[in-house]
């Protein structure tokens, strides 16, 4: 019996075992629902350890918090004191230097919006934390990146640490920091540094390794010492990658500063958005959310523009004034703006009578829109919840009822459902589509009983078997231990709720995003329309994405699902379009010369060749969905994200950190699975 046949037989046995346990077992049986009496009491252990740690080291962290509060308060007060035209002029000069007059105009209008709507003080409070956290995060990331570049052993320690830091939900960062450093803006500063430095580490290691051997050899031949070789040869050669790392670190810091405002005490724009969302104030939350989006886009475009510059040689030949013209012009204009602010009171503080705040009109528009389209909104929410989400969550057996579907799920209907699933599975099997047949049988069982009610024992065995197929014994063992840890600490039910919502969102994002990406690769006009939308969604902090869905569909899982899809769809679109646009020209030309139609070229040549890149997009879609899932806990979802939020609200370190690590485990298992599939696919292709 071959390996392929053995794997098929194993899956038949596992699916049969799953069906048997569901039919013969009761919901209270240990192999379906893990008994509470068997749960390892890790939460009180972690809480006790944290209490002991705080008792012995609290003086140090509180002292550090008081020390860091001084520069935080100083920068906040300086930005509040600085007249808004001065900040606007300096930002415009930096924008022009980074990417030209168009970005300068956009930045000026963005800052003017913050002034006109009356959110300038809150915006400056958020900006002050970004100004402090970004240099510290870049410095920490650079040091770790250099260490990992120089030492193979260090890299083996650093990379798993980065994986954990980048997969643990953002909320989970806040809880231990809040307990150690106390209440206040310093929590946002520390959390931003921890959350933002990993991209700098990765880009530093990548940039230093990409320096060509010819450049290094040239430096050695010139007599450079090891120190000179590093600082005067390697670093300048890797500067582009280092600046990209700084850009990614900056955007991560902006995102975390906004998220950290959930604990309050910051009086920044993130807290303003959260406050308005909680009060269901649509107009106010949109106006504040636009401020966050504009702030993020301005910072992103400026840092990305400087990262894309590569004119060191030509700049070295220019004079001082020519080389630093933007700095000189910006400084001169800033001084002039400062002097004018002492003469013109509106330049010092925007008059309240001049504030344009159309929140009431926006709220009225929303009320009229919901009133006119209430039937469509209600029908869309009802269909999605009762016909898609609920069957996946609790199964058709508990979903179909006169209240939800209009009829009972009678015994003949159940037998008909089973016969349909078996018929489809048999059709696929005898057509030689064995994997499709197995997928049909598994989905048939899942939809009948519901993901949250399936046997944990069989699901863990299935995931381990899949890990063995994709990555061998190492991945299978890691998957088994990781999932068993979720079972043992008692968060398996919450994990399945997270997988259910995240899974639906990923499927929708991957299918819809893939179709949009394919269309964008074939139709240039679609690509031009989609690209700025993707840029906006990717730079927009996660809080803002929640606003329109909460206001239209109210709090609940459906709003959370739409928010997750809106955020997670971006990598699917980007990677699909990128994979289809960057294929070998000779292969495309050969296929065209053989008489392939456009449809044949797409389905039989382009898509198979681009599949590894598209699957990388699936990997990123999963990561984005899990990241957004925690933010979606703010609008009433259940699962691990809600547990993290509960732990943060109650100051329960054990609950929050276990749930956070649980989400990291799900993310890393999914990441390893997609990487394993991609590696097997590329090996088969080569």
Are both 498 and 646 inside the same structural domain?
A: yes
* Residue 366 in domain: no
Name the pLDDT band for 290 (thresholds 50, 70, 90). confident
Radius of gyration of the chain (CA): 28
How far separated are the first and last CA of the chain, in Å rounded? 26
pLDDT tens string 599-654: 888 888 888 888 888 888 888 898 889 888 888 887 777 888 888 888 877 788 88
Surface-to-core class of residue 2, CB atoms within 10 Å of its CB (0-12 exposed, 13-18 middle, 19+ buried): exposed
Report yes or no: 235 and 211 within 8 Å, Cβ to Cβ: no
For residue 313, pLDDT beyond 60: no
What residues contact 267, with CB distance under 8 A and at least 6 apart? 121, 122, 125
Nearest Cα to Cα of residue 170 among 263, 264, 51: 263
Report yes or no: 641 and 630 within 8 Å, Cβ to Cβ: yes
Q: Cα(641)–Cα(219) distance, rounded to whole angstroms?
A: 51
* Residue 534 in domain: yes
Q: What does the mean pLDDT of the chain come to?
A: 85
Report yes or no: 475 and 672 within 8 Å, Cβ to Cβ: yes
- Of 357, 383, 407, which one is at a domain's C-terminal end? 357
* Residue 247 in domain: yes
Q: How many CA atoms lie within 13 A of 652 on its CB side?
A: 17
Alpha-carbon distance values, 385 to 215, 290, 390, 497 (Å)? 59, 30, 6, 14
Nearest Cα to Cα of residue 253 among 622, 566, 541: 541
Q: Cα(616)–Cα(638) distance, rounded to whole angstroms?
A: 28
Structure tokens belonging to residue 205: 């290691």
For residue 339, pLDDT beyond 70: yes
Angle 642-646-648 (CA atoms, 0-180°, nearest 5)?
Answer: 115
What is the pLDDT, as a whole number, of residue 26?
66
* DSSP-assigned letter for residue 595: T
For residue 11, pLDDT beyond 80: yes
What is the pLDDT, as a whole number, of residue 534?
82
Summarize the confidence of residues 453-470 as an average pLDDT.
92
For residue 686, pLDDT beyond 60: no
Are both 185 and 327 inside the same structural domain?
A: yes
Residue 473: strand, helix, or coil: helix
Nearest Cα to Cα of residue 249 among 289, 203, 294, 205: 203
* Residue 417 in domain: no
Name the pLDDT band for 573 (thresholds 50, 70, 90). very high
What is the CATH classification number for the domain harbouring 71?
A: 1.10.3720.10
Summarize the confidence of residues 407-422 as an average pLDDT.
91
Q: Cα(506)–Cα(336) distance, rounded to whole angstroms?
A: 52
Name the pLDDT band for 463 (thresholds 50, 70, 90). very high
Are both 352 and 501 inside the same structural domain?
A: no
Summarize the confidence of residues 216-233 as an average pLDDT.
82
Report yes or no: 185 and 265 within 8 Å, Cβ to Cβ: yes
Range of the domain at 600: 490-686
Summarize the confidence of residues 671-685 as an average pLDDT.
78
For residue 542, pLDDT beyond 80: no
DSSP string of 268-290, one letter each residue: SHHHHHHHHHHTT-HHHHHHHHH
For residue 264, pLDDT beyond 70: no
What is the pLDDT, as a whole number, of residue 321?
62
What is the pLDDT, as a whole number, of residue 417?
93
Question: At which residue do the structure tokens 């990717």 appear?
Answer: 538
Report yes or no: 657 and 175 within 8 Å, Cβ to Cβ: yes
Q: Cα(49)–Cα(658) distance, rounded to whole angstroms?
A: 14
Higher pLDDT, 278 or 438: 438
Higher pLDDT, 684 or 677: 677
Summarize the confidence of residues 194-200 as an average pLDDT.
87
Summarize the confidence of residues 156-170 as an average pLDDT.
79
Lowest mean pLDDT among 32-41, 180-189, 652-661, 667-676: 180-189
pLDDT over 90 for what percent of the chain? Answer: 24
* Residue 474 in domain: no
* Residue 376 in domain: no
For residue 448, pLDDT beyond 60: yes
Nearest Cα to Cα of residue 651 among 194, 278, 263, 271: 263
What is the pLDDT, as a whole number, of residue 139?
93
What is the pLDDT, as a whole number, of residue 547?
80
Nearest Cα to Cα of residue 94 among 311, 242, 306: 306
Q: Cα(553)–Cα(572) distance, rounded to whole angstroms?
A: 25
Q: How many CA atoms lie within 13 A of 655 on its CB side?
A: 14
Summarize the confidence of residues 219-232 as an average pLDDT.
82
* Residue 589 in domain: yes
What residues contact 163, with CB distance under 8 A and at least 6 apart? 668, 671
Structurally, the chain folds into a number of domains equal to: 2
What is the pLDDT, as a whole number, of residue 36?
85
Are both 340 and 195 inside the same structural domain?
A: yes
- Among left, alpha and beta (phi > 0; psi -120 to 50; other), residue 566 is alpha
Report yes or no: 279 and 201 within 8 Å, Cβ to Cβ: no
Report yes or no: 539 and 296 within 8 Å, Cβ to Cβ: yes
Name the pLDDT band for 8 (thresholds 50, 70, 90). confident
- Of 338, 357, 376, which one is at a domain's C-terminal end? 357
Q: Cα(667)–Cα(669) distance, rounded to whole angstroms?
A: 6
Higher pLDDT, 317 or 63: 63
Q: Cα(143)–Cα(335) distance, rounded to whole angstroms?
A: 36
pLDDT tens string 122-145: 899 888 888 888 899 999 999 999
For residue 318, pLDDT beyond 60: no
- Of 317, 338, 357, which one is at a domain's C-terminal end? 357
Are both 250 and 108 inside the same structural domain?
A: yes
DSSP string of 75-114, one letter each residue: HHHHHHHS-HHHHHHHHHHHHHHHH-HHHHHHHHHHHHHH
Lowest mean pLDDT among 19-28, 523-532, 617-626, 634-643: 19-28
Higher pLDDT, 391 or 32: 391
What is the pLDDT, as a whole number, of residue 2?
59
Highest mean pLDDT: which of 51-65, 244-258, 595-609? 51-65
* Residue 669 in domain: yes
Are both 657 and 509 inside the same structural domain?
A: yes
Cα–chain center distance at 76: 28
For residue 113, pLDDT beyond 80: yes
């Amino acid at each position: 019996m071959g390996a392929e046949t053995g794997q098929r037989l194993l899956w038949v046995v596992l699916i049969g075992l799953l069906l048997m346990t569901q039919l013969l077992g009761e919901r209270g049986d240990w192999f379906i629902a893990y008994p509470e009496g068997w749960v390892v009491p890790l939460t009180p252990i972690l809480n006790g350890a944290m209490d002991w740690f705080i008792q012995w080291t609290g003086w140090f962290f509180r002292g550090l918090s008081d020390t860091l509060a001084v520069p935080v308060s100083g920068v906040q007060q300086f930005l509040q004191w600085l007249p808004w035209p001065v900040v606007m002029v300096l930002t415009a000069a930096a924008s022009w230097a980074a990417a030209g007059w168009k970005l300068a105009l956009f930045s000026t209008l963005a800052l003017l919006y913050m002034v006109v709507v009356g959110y300038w003080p809150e915006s400056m409070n958020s900006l002050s934390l970004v100004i402090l956290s970004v240099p510290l995060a870049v410095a920490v990331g650079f040091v770790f990146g250099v260490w990992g570049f120089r030492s193979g052993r260090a890299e083996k320690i650093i990379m798993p640490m980065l994986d954990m830091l980048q997969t643990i939900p953002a909320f989970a960062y806040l809880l231990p920091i809040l307990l150690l450093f106390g209440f206040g803006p310093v929590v946002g500063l520390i959390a931003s540094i921890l959350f933002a430095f990993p991209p700098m580490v990765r880009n530093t290691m990548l940039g230093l390794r990409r320096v060509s051997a010819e450049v290094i050899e040239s430096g050695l031949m010139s007599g450079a010492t090891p120190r000179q070789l590093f600082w005067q040869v390697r670093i300048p050669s890797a500067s582009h990658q280092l600046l990209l790392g700084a850009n990614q670190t900056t955007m991560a810091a902006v995102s975390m500063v906004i998220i950290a405002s959930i604990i309050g005490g910051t009086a920044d724009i993130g807290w303003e958005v959260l406050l308005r969302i909680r009060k269901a104030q649509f107009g106010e939350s949109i106006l504040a959310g636009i401020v966050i989006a504009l702030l993020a886009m301005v910072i992103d475009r400026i840092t990305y523009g400087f990262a894309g510059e590569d004119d060191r040689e030509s700049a070295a030949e220019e004079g001082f004034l020519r080389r630093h013209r933007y700095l000189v012009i910006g400084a001169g204009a800033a001084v002039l703006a400062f002097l004018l602010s002492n003469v013109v009171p509106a330049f010092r503080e925007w008059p309240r009578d001049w504030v344009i705040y159309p929140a009431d009109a926006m709220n009225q528009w929303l009320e009229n829109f919901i009133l006119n389209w209430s039937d469509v909104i209600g029908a869309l929410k009802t269909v999605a919840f009762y016909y898609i989400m609920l069957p996946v969550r609790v199964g058709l057996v508990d979903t179909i009822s006169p209240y939800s579907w209009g009829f009972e799920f009678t015994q003949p209907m159940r037998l008909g459902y089973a016969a349909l699933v078996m018929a489809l599975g048999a059709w696929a099997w005898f057509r030689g589509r064995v994997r499709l047949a197995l997928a049909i049988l598994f989905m048939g069982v899942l939809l009948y009983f519901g993901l949250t009610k399936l046997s944990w024992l069989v699901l863990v065995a299935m995931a381990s078997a899949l890990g063995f197929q994709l990555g061998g014994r190492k991945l299978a063992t890691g998957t088994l231990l990781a999932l068993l840890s979720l079972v043992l600490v008692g968060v398996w039910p919450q994990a399945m709720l997270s997988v259910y919502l995240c899974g639906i969102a990923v499927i929708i994002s991957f299918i819809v995003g893939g179709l949009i990406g394919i269309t964008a690769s074939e139709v240039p006009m679609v690509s031009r329309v989609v690209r700025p939308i993707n840029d906006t969604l990717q730079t927009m902090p996660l809080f803002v994405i929640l606003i329109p869905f909460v206001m239209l569909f109210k709090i609940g899982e459906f709003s959370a699902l739409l928010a997750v899809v809106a955020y997670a769809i971006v990598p699917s679109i980007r990677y699909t379009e990128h994979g289809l646009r960057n294929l070998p020209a000779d292969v495309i030309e050969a296929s065209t010369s053989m008489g392939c139609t456009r449809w044949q070229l797409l389905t039989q040549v382009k898509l198979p060749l681009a599949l590894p890149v598209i699957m990388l997009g699936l990997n990123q879609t999963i990561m984005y969905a899990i990241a957004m899932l925690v933010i979606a806990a703010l609008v009433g979802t259940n699962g691990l994200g809600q547990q993290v939020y509960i732990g943060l609200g109650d100051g329960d370190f054990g609950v929050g950190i276990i749930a956070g690590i649980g989400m990291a485990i799900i993310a890393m298992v999914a990441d390893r699975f997609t990487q394993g599939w991609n590696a097997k696919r590329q090996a088969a292709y080569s």
